[in-house]
Amino acid sequence: MDAPADVVGRIALLLRAVSAGEPDGTTTSSLARQSGLARPTAHRLLSSLAAAGLTERSSDGHWVLGPELFLLGTAAAARYDVTAVAQPVVRRLSLATGESAFLSARRGEETICLLREDGSFPVRSHVLYEGIRFPLGVASAGLVILSFLGDAEVEEWLGRADLAGTYGPAHSADAVRERVASTRRRGYAVNPGLIVEGSWGMAAAVFDAEDRPQWALSLTGIEQRFTPARQHEMGSLLLEAAHELTRALRR
């Protein structure tokens, strides 16, 4: 029989996998693979979570987060929610650029998208949406947060993370190191369509009171909108917005 701590850890892995899935839900088999669990174990735990209202099964059999998590999240929001402060900043970025703008937060070794504001330009990138998670070093938000960690933390993470195995050779440790160096020079990150071809992103880090990168503001759009001149313009806007949000959150 699993020790209680083992069960809690497995449940946490499953809930994160469900939250990172498609908006319409994820299959049991896919969640089992993402969590490293046997399919029968994943199904048993998901069913127990459903009985508690923490997961729910859609009409096509896919798993989604349950209503009880919304109530728990509402109770925790007063302590942890930064979206009320960030929302006007994200909206202004979207209005100023015409691109979709986002706020992501660091959670351990991942980033999770918390806010999205669609821009006025009719063709949009749909790589990012509220709730999606990426490992540090992946997507512009994960890259900019990784870039402004200390050298030892960057090397420790790249030494054990198999980003290339999931996201392709463009995410090898050496390739990510090069992008970290470029990000530090510019001050903002650029993702030149490395997740979905033709879908570009840029991001700037937002820091906590200890000068740790804990959030990121990002913009996404199609490649044709991310010319070098426009990257410079949007990078400046991102850095200004990130400084503003950093100051606001510290207050």
Structure tokens at 245: 């949000």
Of 69 and 174, the one with more pLDDT:
174
On whether the 4-71 domain is CATH 1.50.40.10, my answer is no
Tell me, rounded to whole angstroms, the distance of Cα 225 from its chain centroid: 22
Q: Where residue 1 falls among pLDDT bands split at 50, 70, 90?
A: very low
- Tell me how far apart the 2 most distant CA atoms of the chain are, in Å: 60
Number of neighbouring beta carbons within 10 Å of residue 243: 13
On whether the 82-250 domain is CATH 3.30.450.40, my answer is yes
Q: Where are the domains of the chain?
A: 4-71, 82-250
What's residue 22's pLDDT?
A: 73
What's residue 61's pLDDT?
A: 87
pLDDT tens digits, residue range 157-176?
999 999 999 999 999 999 99
Taking the C-alpha atoms of residue 55 and residue 50, their distance in angstroms, rounded to an integer, is 4
User: Nearest Cα to 110, choosing from 34, 196, 27?
Assistant: 34
What's residue 7's pLDDT?
A: 85
Number of neighbouring beta carbons within 10 Å of residue 21: 21
Contact predicate 218/128, CB 8 Å: yes
For residue 19, count CB atoms less than 10 angstroms from its CB and return exposed for 0-12, middle for 13-18, buried for 19 or more.
middle
pLDDT tens digits, residue range 221-230?
999 999 999 9
- What is this structure's pTM? 0.74
Q: What string of DSSP letters covers 165-215?
A: HHH-GGGSHHHHHHHHHHHHHHSSEEE-SSSSTTEEEEEEEEE-TTS-EEE
Number of neighbouring beta carbons within 10 Å of residue 190: 20
